[in-house]
Structure 1
Amino acid sequence: MRPLRLFFAATLILSATTAVHAKCGNSSAGFNEWRDNLITNSQRYGIKARVAKSALSGVTYNSKVIRLDRNQKSFKLSFKQFYAKRVNNAMIRRGQKLGQTYGRIFRRIEKQFGVPAPVILAIWGLETNYGGYIGNMSVMRSLATLAYDCRRSQFFSNELIAALHIVQRGDMKPSEMRGAWAGEIGQTQFLASSYMKYAIDYDGNGRRDLIRSVPDVLGSTANYLAKKGWRRGQSWGPGTANYNVLKKWNKASVYVQTISVMAEKIGN
C-alpha cells in the first residue's frame, strides 16, 4: 500500500469532513450509528440518498483494516531491502513484454501526456504486479471503517465521499469496488479522490474503469503524472524534476527510488 496521497469545492469537503469527523470513534461501538447518520445526511455531500443507501447500508466495521493501518512496516526498510522484497528479474521481463503487447497504447500515451512507457510499467508492476493482485476487500467497508476511526478520520472521510461520487457518476457499482485494505482502487491503486480527479476513459466506452480496462489504467496513470508536472522528454532519476513528480505519486523515498530504478531496467 502506498502512503496516503476531490473534485468538489473546498466548502463541500469541509462540510463533509467536519460532520463525519465529529463523530469518529476508536472501537466498533458507535460505527453503525455513525454510518446511518452519514446515509441520512448524504445529500449534504452531494450524494443522492439512494446512492448512499445502496453503497453503505449493511456495511460493517472491519477490525482487520484497523490492524493493518497500525502495522505498516514495509516503508521502514532500506531501499536495498525494499527493492529485493518487491522486485525481481521476472517482473522486469514481464514489464518489457507488456510494453510490447500494449505498444500502440503506450505510444499514444507518450504522445498525449509525455510520460514514457517504462515509468508507467514500473508503477503498474510495483502496485499490483501488473494487475495480478488488486486486492479483494470492499472499498466501501474499508473507507467507512477508516473514516469512522479517529486516527485519520478527516482524510478518509474525503476518500469515502469521493468513492460515493464514483458510484454516483456511474463508473462502478459498490459491489465492483474491491481493492486494497486502505481503499485503493484498480491496477495502479488510485485512492478514490485521485480516481475522481485523474481517472480517464481511455478505451472510449463511457466509463472510467481502473479495475478491468487496461487502457483506462495506463491512460489514467499517465494523466495523473502529467497533471502533477511531468516534463516531457526528460529523465526521472534522483535530483530531476520528474523524480519530484514521482514523489507526488508516493511519499516514501524507498518506493520512489524503486519506481525509478525499475523503470530504467524495463527501458533497457
Structure 2
Amino acid sequence: MRPLFLTVVCFLFLSTTPALAATCGNGPNGFEAWKQDFIANSKRYGLKQRTVNSALQNVKYNSKVIRLDRNQKSFKLSFQQFYAKRVNNAMIRRGQKLGKTYARLFSRIEKKYGVPAPVILAIWGLETNYGGYLGNMPVLQSLATLAYDCRRSKFFTNELVNALKIVQRRDMTPGEMRGAWAGEIGQTQFLASSYMKYAVDYDRDGRRDLIRSVPDVLASTANYLQKKGWRRGQPWGPGTANYRVIREWNRASVYVQTISVMADKIAN
C-alpha cells in the first residue's frame, strides 16, 4: 500500500494540472495505464491526440532514468572538485579557437542579444563539450518516466507536454529527440519548456534546431540569457547582476561559478 503522504502529494500535483491519470507511481506498475490516460487527455494541453499517440506508443518506463534522478552527486562537490572534474585547459583552448572560428556569428549575436561570446562558449563547453556529446537517451521516454514518477511529477509533466509540442510543431521528430537522462535537448541542453520559450531559428531554415544548427544553438542560448535579464556590457563575476542571470541557467552554485570562471579564462 502506498504511504498516505505520497497519496496526498500526488493529489496536490494533479489538482493543479489537467487530469492525467488516477495517481503517479513509484515503479513500473501502473505506468502503461497512466500513459494511456495521458494520451486520452492530451487535448487539454493543446496537443493533438493522434500526434501524442504516435509519439508515445512505444514509450516504456525506464528504471535507469529513476536511478540517475536519485543519484546526482556532482553538485555536492566543492567548486574546486567540480571544476577539476568538468573543465581542463584543452577545453579552454578549444573554446578560444571556436570563438575565432565563429567570430562573425558571435559578433552578430552579441549585437542582437547583448551576451558576449565567452559566456556562451563556457555554457556550450560545459554542457556538451561544444556539441561533442549530447546524450543518447530517448527524450520522450525519459520525460514520460519522470512525469509518472511521484518525486517531481508536476515539473516533468510540464516538460513532457512541451516536448510533445516540439514534435507537434515539427521542429524535431520523436526519433530525433535524444538527449540527457532528464530530457535535456541539444548542444546547450535546453529543457523542453525552455526550448519552446527561448529557442530561435537563427539560420532561418524553418526549424529551431538545437541539435545540428550551431547558429540556432548559440543564438538560442543568448536569447535565453537576455530574456532572463542579461545586462549588456556588464561583467558576469560573483556579486554582479549577470552572475544572478547565469544562476537562472542552473541553480547549482558550483555550476554557476564554473561558467563564470570558465568564461573569464576563455576571454583571456
Task: Give the TM-score normalised by the residue count of structure 1.
Answer: 0.93
> Shift of the alpha carbon at 1:132?
0.4
Match of 1:17 in 2: 17
Could you tell me which residue of structure 1 aligns to residue 168 of structure 2?
168
User: Distance in 2 between the 1:55 and 1:26 partners?
Assistant: 23
Per-residue deviation, 1:17: 3.3
2:21–2:37: 8 Å Cα contact kept in structure 1? no
In the TM superposition, residue 53 of structure 1 has moved relative to its aligned partner by 1.1
The answer on 1:142 being equivalent to 2:136 is no
Q: Say yes or no: does 1:245 pair with 2:245.
A: yes
CA contact (8 A) 2:42 2:49 kept: yes
RMSD: 1.4
Q: Between Structure 1 and Structure 2, how many residues are aligned?
A: 256
Please give the per-residue CA displacement for 1:31-69, whole angstroms capped at 9, x wherever unaligned: 001111111111111100111011100100000000000
CA distance in 1, matches of 2:44, 2:231: 39
Identical amino acids, percent of aligned pairs? 78
Q: Aligned AA for 2:171?
A: D
Q: Which amino acid aligns with 1:106?
A: F
Correspondence 1:73-92 to 2 at 5 A:
73-92=73-92
How far residue 18 of structure 1 moved from its aligned partner, in angstroms, is 4.5
Q: CA offset at residue 23 of structure 1?
A: 2.0
1:121 corresponds in structure 2 to 121
Secondary structure, counterpart of 1:133 in structure 2: coil
| Contact map agreement 1:83 1:258 (CA 8 A) in 2 | yes
Compute the displacement of 1:232 (Å): 0.2
Q: Which whole-Å CA distance do the structure 2 matches of 1:14 and 1:59 have between them?
A: 22
Work out which of the two has the higher radius of gyration on C-alpha atoms and give 1 or 2: 2
For 1:94-113, list aligned pairs within 5 A.
94-113=94-113
| C-alpha contact (below 8 Å) 1:21/1:148 kept by paired residues | no
SS of 2:20 mapped into structure 1? helix
State how far apart, in whole Å, the 1-side matches of 2:114 and 2:145 are: 38
Higher relative contact order (CA 8 A, sep 6+): 1
1:193 aligns to what?
193
1:22 to partner: Cα distance = 4.9
**TM-score (structure 2 length as normaliser):** 0.93
CA distance in 1, matches of 2:261, 2:15: 42
Contact 2:18–2:44 (Cα < 8 Å) also in 1: no
Which residue of structure 2 aligns with residue 4 of structure 1? none
